[in-house]
């Protein structure tokens, strides 16, 4: 049976102690945000996730969604849970108060997202996609579209989707065929088919607002000829309520490996009425507002599932009696020792813990940059935050989802045979986690984005937001009396990252395949160094806090121990990754296509 308890103490450590949430009040619109307010929000969110969403996770997976006469029915309890979620204001946390939102920081919203993903990822896809659609409309829609659609999306009465993929084109959206024909009243008629549409049809809200990529009759070929359109399921009536049914129909739902309670739909648009969002032929720029938000959220999905799987594995390892400790019986009064005494079980548990807490810290840093990007009073500060967010988006999406899947597999392994059967729910975490490596741009595509676009962009300017603080920290702490060796280990891994960056810049400029061959290893190396930086910072901070910690002494001591494990057992992978990167493309590209 699945259990989940929100890791509020660690979230408070990340938000307040590591990333100084008190200073959020210096940002525009966040003057009233305090650590106390943040804590109250997290505590209430934890109650919703633990008491309302988590109990529906396994049953929702078992039942799944079903399509009945064009209408998708979500599993038992989901509609009631969504009403409670909506009525609690959880759809409006980070939305603009002009449209009924609460105007709270992204850094708080991402922490809430993590809890939702841990407790019930499938449920979380519905409000998650709606928030992404909200962001795209708020950033690029006309004032009329904003006023007509955003208040209902913010209060959760209406949901939203992102309609990109077609059967013949996924990543290569330049091949899409969906058409948009302009009408005299300024609207457009949208015709085409889309697949893999999360939340494309469901019974949780009274309307669904689809954001659809399509081509105008005069559109140039390729990616530069795509426009973005807002296409509602029901056309709003004069009073703002859903009116006439639009020409969009769900023709099928996908039968998936995981997130079965999330409706993944095939949609057919037949002369559906829509309105242009942003400029003609500039749809990808508008859609990337949503896609980048979703990519960060997909990374948080991996983090959330890693945490849930870790909690389940720890509880089982403490209870499951099997064999004796290699150092001699730890519990001679029992027929066997609990498996948590065995080194390999501890290796798995500590790996899961190091991944989850490290990713939570890095997510907090990136989420903080989202707040600064939107709200800093100084334009230069906004630009620096925007550069850092752009750099880290592919890293967070790919690294967190990779590590989330690894963690859920380790969780299954801790359970042994009991992890492979459905009773304990551990295999569901692994099945749910697997999609995060694929959707919103596969992790291989994220790696290509990092090396092909982000590294060379503005002559390498984006790298400064990461390289400079890491370098400064290493220089300031390399001789730390307690953590000098740990910081020097980070310095060694960081040196490998710097050399790998120079190698890719040198080789990749003349041969794109060289950069492509190194991309996945480079992203992993980058991510492991980023987690190493977080762990080194957390170790120094925990050591400073420990002497006066009192009741929190155990928390800070565990933080130090986990930091040591990460630095000694995980971060050394950096050397092997650099060696693979330096080996070049030859072995990868030499085999003839016909020989595969």
Give the H/E segment covering residue 496.
helix 484-510
Encode burial over 303-323: b for 16+ CB neighbours within 10 A, e otherwise. bbbbbbbbbbbbebbeebeee
Q: What is residue 216's DSSP assignment? A: -
pLDDT of residue 509: 77
pLDDT of residue 542: 97
Cα separations in angstroms, 244 against 48, 232, 238, 247, 248: 35, 10, 11, 10, 12
> Which residues are CB-neighbours of 191 under 8 A, at least 6 positions away?
178, 179, 181, 269, 270, 271, 272
CA distance 332 to 334: 5
Torsion angle, alpha carbons of 481, 483, 487, 489, to 10: 110
The token pair at 332 is 């001679």
**φ and ψ at 546, to 5 degrees?**
-60, -45
pLDDT of residue 135: 95
Inter-helix orientation angle 343-375/379-415, to 10°: 160
pTM, two decimals, is: 0.97
Cβ pair 305, 404 in contact under 8 A: yes
pLDDT of residue 396: 98
> Which residues are CB-neighbours of 8 under 8 A, at least 6 positions away?
39, 42, 43, 46
The token pair at 553 is 């002494």
CA distance 284 to 213: 8
CA distance 1 to 424: 4
CA distance 220 to 162: 22
List the alpha helices (DSSP H) in 546-585: 553-565, 573-582
What is the 3-class SS of 409-429, one letter each residue?
HHHHHHHCHHHHCCCCCHHHH
Which residue in the block uniquely carries the two structure tokens 């959760």?
156
Burial class (CB within 10 angstroms; exposed 0-12, middle 13-18, buried 19+) of 326: exposed
CA distance 536 to 474: 9
Encode burial over 215-238: b for 16+ CB neighbours within 10 A, e otherwise. bbeebeeeeebbbbbbbbbbbbee
Cα 471 to the center of its chain, rounded Å: 27
Q: Which residues are catalytic?
A: 440
CA distance 134 to 148: 12
Cβ pair 535, 567 in contact under 8 A: yes
Sorted by where each begins, the domain ranges of the chain are 8-66+76-128, 143-286, 287-313+353-410+430-587
Inter-helix orientation angle 35-48/106-140, to 10°: 90
SS3 assignment, position 182: strand
Partner residues linked to 424 by β-bridges:
none
CA distance 419 to 431: 12
Structurally, at CATH architecture level, domain 8-66+76-128 sits in: Orthogonal Bundle (1.10)
Inter-helix orientation angle 283-319/426-434, to 10°: 160
Cα separations in angstroms, 128 against 76, 124, 131, 133, 544: 20, 6, 5, 9, 37
The token pair at 592 is 């003839």
CA distance 320 to 417: 12
Residue length, the chain?
596
SS3 assignment, position 7: coil
From first to last of its 596 residues, what are the pLDDT tens digits of the chain? 899 999 999 999 999 999 999 999 999 999 999 999 999 999 999 999 999 999 999 999 999 999 998 899 999 999 999 999 999 999 999 999 999 999 999 999 999 999 999 999 999 999 999 999 999 999 999 999 999 999 999 999 999 999 999 998 878 777 899 999 999 999 999 999 999 999 999 999 999 999 999 999 999 988 889 999 999 999 999 999 999 999 999 999 999 999 999 999 999 999 999 999 999 999 988 877 777 778 999 999 999 999 999 999 999 999 999 999 999 999 999 999 999 999 999 999 999 999 999 999 999 999 999 999 999 999 999 999 999 999 999 999 999 999 999 999 999 999 999 999 999 999 999 999 999 999 999 999 999 999 999 999 999 999 999 999 999 999 999 999 999 999 999 999 999 999 999 999 998 878 999 999 999 999 999 999 999 999 999 999 999 999 999 999 999 999 999 999 999 999 999 999 999 999 999 999 999 999 99
Burial class (CB within 10 angstroms; exposed 0-12, middle 13-18, buried 19+) of 150: buried
Which residue in the block uniquely carries the two structure tokens 């799944």?
64
CATH number of 143-286: 2.40.110.20
pLDDT of residue 35: 98
pLDDT of residue 510: 84
CA distance 127 to 199: 9
* 193 torsion bin: left (phi>0), alpha (psi -120 to 50), beta (else): beta
CA distance 323 to 339: 7
Q: What is residue 175's DSSP assignment? A: G
The token pair at 302 is 């991996």
């Amino acid at each position: 049976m699945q259990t989940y308890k929100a890791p509020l103490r660690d979230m408070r450590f990340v938000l307040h102690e590591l990333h100084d949430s008190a200073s959020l009040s210096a940002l525009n619109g966040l003057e009233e945000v305090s650590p106390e307010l943040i804590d109250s929000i997290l505590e209430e969110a934890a109650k919703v996730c633990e008491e309302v969403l988590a109990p529906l996770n396994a049953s929702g997976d078992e039942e799944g969604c079903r399509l009945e006469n064009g209408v998708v029915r979500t599993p038992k309890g989901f509609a009631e849970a969504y009403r409670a979620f909506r009525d609690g204001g959880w759809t409006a946390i980070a939305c603009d108060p002009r449209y009924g939102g609460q105007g709270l920081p992204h850094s708080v919203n991402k922490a809430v997202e993590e809890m939702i993903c841990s407790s019930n990822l499938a449920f979380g896809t519905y409000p998650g996609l709606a928030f992404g659609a909200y962001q795209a409309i708020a950033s690029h829609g006309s004032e009329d579209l904003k006023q007509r659609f955003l208040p209902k999306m913010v209060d959760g009465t209406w949901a939203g989707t992102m309609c990109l993929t077609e059967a013949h084109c996924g990543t290569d959206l330049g091949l899409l065929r969906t058409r948009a024909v302009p009408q005299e009243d300024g609207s457009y008629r949208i015709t085409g088919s889309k697949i893999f549409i999360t939340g494309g049809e469901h019974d949780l809200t009274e309307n669904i607002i689809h954001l659809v990529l399509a081509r105008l009759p005069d559109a140039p070929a390729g990616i530069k000829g795509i426009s973005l359109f807002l296409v509602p399921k029901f056309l709003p009536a004069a009073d703002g309520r859903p009116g006439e049914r639009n020409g969009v129909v769900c023709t099928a739902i996908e039968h998936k490996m995981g997130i079965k309670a999330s409706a993944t739909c095939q949609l057919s648009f037949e002369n559906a009425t829509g309105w242009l969002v942003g400029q003609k032929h500039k749809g990808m720029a508008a859609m990337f507002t949503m896609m980048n938000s979703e990519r960060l959220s997909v990374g948080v999905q991996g983090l959330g599932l890693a945490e849930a799987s870790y909690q389940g594995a720890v509880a089982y390892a403490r209870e499951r009696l099997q064999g004796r400790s290699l150092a001699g019986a730890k519990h001679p009064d029992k027929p066997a020792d609990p498996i948590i005494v065995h080194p390999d079980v501890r290796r798995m548990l500590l790996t899961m813990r190091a991944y989850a807490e490290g990713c939570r810290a890095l997510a907090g840093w990136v989420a903080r940059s989202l707040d600064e990007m939107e709200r800093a009073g100084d334009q230069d500060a906004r630009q620096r935050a925007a550069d850092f967010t752009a750099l880290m988006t592919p890293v967070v999406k790919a690294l967190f989802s990779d590590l989330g899947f690894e963690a859920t597999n380790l969780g299954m392994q801790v359970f042994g045979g009991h992890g492979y059967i459905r009773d304990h729910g551990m295999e569901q975490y692994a099945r749910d986690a697997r999609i995060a490596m694929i959707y919103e741009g596969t992790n291989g595509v994220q790696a290509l984005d990092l090396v092909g676009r982000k590294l060379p962009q503005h002559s390498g300017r984006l790298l400064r937001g990461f390289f400079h603080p890491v370098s400064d920290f290493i220089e300031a702490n390399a001789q730390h009396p307690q953590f000098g060796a740990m910081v020097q280990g980070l310095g060694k891994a960081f040196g490998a990252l710097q050399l790998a960056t120079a190698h890719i810049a040198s080789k990749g400029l003349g041969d794109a395949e060289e950069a492509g061959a190194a991309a996945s290893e480079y992203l992993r190396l980058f991510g492991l160094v980023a987690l190493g930086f977080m762990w080194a910072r957390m170790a120094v901070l925990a050591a400073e806090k420990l002497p006066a910690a009192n009741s929190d002494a155990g928390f800070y001591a565990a933080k130090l121990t986990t930091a040591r494990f990460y630095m000694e057992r995980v971060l050394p992978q950096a050397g092997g990754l650099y060696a693979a990167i330096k080996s070049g493309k030859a072995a990868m590209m030499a085999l003839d296509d016909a020989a595969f």
